[in-house]
Amino acid sequence: MSRELQLGDKIYRLDQRTLVMGILNVTTDSFSDGGRFNRVENAVEQAFKMAEDGADIIDIGGESVRPGFVPITAEEELNRVIPVIKSLKNDPAFKLPVSIDTYKAAVAEEALKLGVEMINDVYGLKADHRLGKVAARYNVPICLMHNRDSTDYNDLIPDILAELGESTRIAHQANVKDEQIIIDPGIGFGKDLQQNLDVMYHLREFHSLGYPILLGTSRKSMIGKTLNLPLDERVEGTAATVAYGISAGADLVRVHDVLQMRRVADMTDAMVRR
Q: Which residues are catalytic?
A: 220, 254
The answer for residues whose C-beta is within 8 angstroms of residue 239's C-beta and 6 or more apart is: 260, 261, 264
71-100 as b/e: b if 16+ CB within 10 A: ebebeebbebbbbbbeebeeeeeeebbbbb
The answer for residues whose C-beta is within 8 angstroms of residue 240's C-beta and 6 or more apart is: none
Q: How far is CA 114 from the centre of its chain?
A: 20
User: Which residues of 160-270 form beta strands (DSSP E)?
Assistant: 181-184, 214-215, 252-255
Using CA atoms, how far apart are residues 179 and 37, in angstroms rounded to an integer? 32
Using CA atoms, how far apart are residues 190 and 172, in angstroms rounded to an integer? 24
Looking at the chain, how many residues does it have? 274
